[in-house]
């Protein structure tokens, strides 16, 4: 029993490091882009290729992660995927032509999607709900460290390439850790790996059954726009601050770090209070806070207010993803949730690719300051979609949302 406890603790720590490392490369491009763009003589909108490549790769590997886990153990999947992300980071840092840099974004997405799916697959079966929330906080920690690393490297070395190579080295070490511990990730003999089949459901539910449910589609759209907003603010705020508002790059880098850090801190803090407040009430208040944050950012009232606005936006967005995921089986039932959660993850990846890319196109056509008002529009849309979802949930359950009570998050 003691040996099993030590093994669980070790894998928990490795999973935390894995989520930190998953977040590290995702936010580098936001700080590196002005330098990358100038180096390759690109238009502003061409950053969309990076988002599209990473998003498509992420979508494919996470969508087919179940099939991958049938072909290899979860430990080997994590090791191979981490190595692929490390290879993409090395490719970013060494790319001599733009098309090679863009191709590396596809490799990045393929590896990251498989890591995300693999770690969540394991965590869903072996870790508590609270630990699951903290794993997502670890991702935010990694996303926070990414801009710090790139800002410091550009400031000291004058080159964005070294920033990517540093992160690639970290991921290569993580790949080695996964490889060494690969057998520990396998379930005990006879336990199996299929989580969905471990609990009986009333009848099998098909993909089409799931897609006929209106609440499923509302949540798919919510995840698309939520992740699109989170990534758009994180990736475009540095360029907007430095090239449109005249903020020095080191200062802007720290403000972007504050944004990502607020998401991580918010997930830790909200994990402690969600049972007291209730999931739906917390999400509603958080969405309104994010709307306030992006509105203040767009207004550009003063430098201190702008810095605070990014922190408010990050804090408001912090709990949305894990809380909506937690509510999915409660709102839809376990049978529908088995498919719906996969759709939501895929929609989130598409949103993370599409909205920042469209923002770049808008910034090129109408100027960088045109990007900030779109944050307000998306945040307002999220508030509306969530209220529509709550009304639909109440109608589906006879006028009462049965799992919006404070204890629903446990």
pLDDT tens digit at each of 410 positions of the chain: 445 555 577 888 888 888 888 888 888 888 898 899 999 999 878 888 888 888 888 888 876 766 676 688 888 888 999 999 999 999 999 999 999 999 999 999 999 888 877 776 676 556 665 677 778 888 878 887 888 889 889 888 888 999 999 999 989 998 999 889 888 887 655 444 433 334 444 455 666 777 778 888 999 999 999 999 999 999 899 999 999 999 998 899 889 889 988 988 898 888 888 878 888 899 999 999 999 999 999 999 999 999 999 999 999 999 898 888 778 777 877 667 666 776 787 788 888 878 988 888 898 889 899 999 999 999 999 999 999 999 988 887 665 554 454 444 33
State how far Cα 298 lies from the chain centre. 23
Among candidate residues 311, 17, 279, the one with its CA nearest the CA of residue 142: 17
Torsion 244-249-255-260 (CA) sign = positive
Q: Where are the domains of the chain?
A: 8-185, 209-410
Pair 364, 43: CB distance under 8 Å: yes
Helix 279-299, helix 303-317: angle, nearest 10:
160
Was domain 8-185 assigned CATH 1.20.1250.20? Answer: yes
Closest among 339, 294, 335 to 312, alpha carbons compared: 294
Distance CA 343, CA 327 (A): 15
Distance of CA 39 to the CA centre of its chain: 28
Q: If you ran DSSP here, which 8-state letter would residue 370 be given?
A: G
Q: Can you give the pLDDT at residue 399?
A: 57
pLDDT on residue 293: 97
List the structure tokens of 92.
């970013």
Q: What's the gap between Cα 340 and its chain centre?
A: 17
Angle at 248 between CA 244 and CA 251, to 5 degrees: 115
Q: What is the dihedral of CA 317, 323, 324, 326, to 10 degrees?
A: 160
206 three-state secondary structure: coil
Q: Which of 240, 227, 237, 263 lies closest to 349, judged by CA?
A: 227
Identify whether the C-beta of residue 20 lies closer than 8 Å to the C-beta of residue 145: yes
Q: CB–CB of 330/206 below 8 Å?
A: no
Predicted local confidence at residue 73, as pLDDT: 81
pLDDT of residue 353: 78
Q: What whole-number distance in Å separates Cα of residue 293 and Cα of residue 383?
A: 14
Give the tokens for residue 276.
């007291």
361 is written with which tokens?
A: 């196109």
Where is 351: in which H helix or E strand? helix 334-366
Quick one: pLDDT at residue 192?
Answer: 44
Longest dimension (CA), the chain: 63
pLDDT of residue 4: 52
Q: Which two tokens stand for residue 200?
A: 């009986």
Q: What DSSP letter does each residue of 155-196 carry, written as one string? A: HHHS-SHHHHHHHHHHHHHHHHHHHHTGGGGSPPTTT-S-SG
Is 209-410 CATH 1.10.1740.10? Answer: no
pLDDT of residue 317: 95
pTM of the model: 0.73
Determine the straight-line distance between the first and last CA of the chain, rounded to whole angstroms: 26
Q: What tokens does 128 get? A: 């508590």
Tokens of 112: 């990251």
Task: Quote the pLDDT of residue 151.
Answer: 87
> What per-residue confidence (pLDDT) applies to 410?
34
Fold agreement between 8-185 and 209-410: yes
């Amino acid at each position: 029993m003691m040996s099993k406890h030590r093994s669980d603790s070790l894998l928990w720590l490795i999973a935390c490091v894995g989520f930190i490392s998953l977040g590290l490369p995702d936010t580098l491009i936001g700080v590196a882009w002005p330098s990358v763009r100038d180096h390759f003589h690109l238009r502003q909108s061409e950053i969309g290729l990076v988002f599209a490549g990473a998003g498509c790769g992420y979508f494919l590997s996470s969508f087919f992660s179940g099939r991958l886990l049938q072909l290899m153990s979860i430990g080997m999947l994590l090791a191979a995927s981490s190595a692929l992300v490390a290879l993409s980071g090395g490719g970013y840092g060494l790319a001599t032509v733009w098309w090679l840099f863009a191709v590396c974004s596809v490799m990045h997405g393929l590896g990251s999607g498989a890591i995300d799916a693999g770690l969540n697959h394991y965590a869903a079966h072996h870790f508590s709900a609270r630990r699951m929330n903290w794993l997502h906080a670890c991702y935010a920690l990694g996303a926070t460290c990414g801009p710090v690393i790139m800002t410091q490297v550009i400031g000291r070395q004058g080159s964005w390439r070294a920033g990517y190579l540093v992160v690639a080295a970290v991921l290569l070490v993580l790949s080695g850790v996964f490889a060494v511990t690969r057998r520990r990730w396998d379930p005990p003999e006879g336990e199996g790996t299929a989580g969905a089949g471990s609990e009986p459901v009333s009848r099998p539910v098909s993909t089409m059954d799931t897609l006929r449910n209106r609440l499923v589609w509302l949540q798919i759209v919510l995840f698309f726009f939520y992740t699109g907003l989170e990534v758009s603010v994180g990736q475009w705020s540095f360029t907007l601050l430095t090239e449109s508002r005249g903020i020095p790059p080191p200062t802007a880098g720290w403000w972007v770090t504050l944004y990502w850090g607020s998401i991580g801190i918010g997930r830790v803090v909200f994990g402690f209070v969600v049972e007291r407040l209730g999931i739906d009430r917390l999400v509603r208040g958080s969405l309104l806070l994010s709307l306030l944050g992006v509105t203040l950012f767009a207004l550009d009232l003063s430098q201190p207010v702008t810095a605070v606005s990014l922190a408010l936006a990050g804090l408001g967005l912090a709990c949305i993803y894990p809380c909506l995921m937690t509510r999915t089986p409660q709102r839809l039932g376990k049978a529908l949730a088995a498919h719906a959660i996969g759709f939501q993850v895929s929609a989130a990846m598409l949103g993370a690719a599409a909205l920042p890319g469209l923002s770049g196109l808008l910034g090129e056509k109408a100027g960088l300051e045109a990007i900030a008002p779109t944050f307000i529009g998306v945040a307002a849309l999220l508030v509306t979609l969530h209220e529509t979802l709550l009304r639909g949930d109440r109608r589906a359950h006879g006028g009462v949302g049965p799992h919006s009570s404070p204890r629903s998050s446990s």
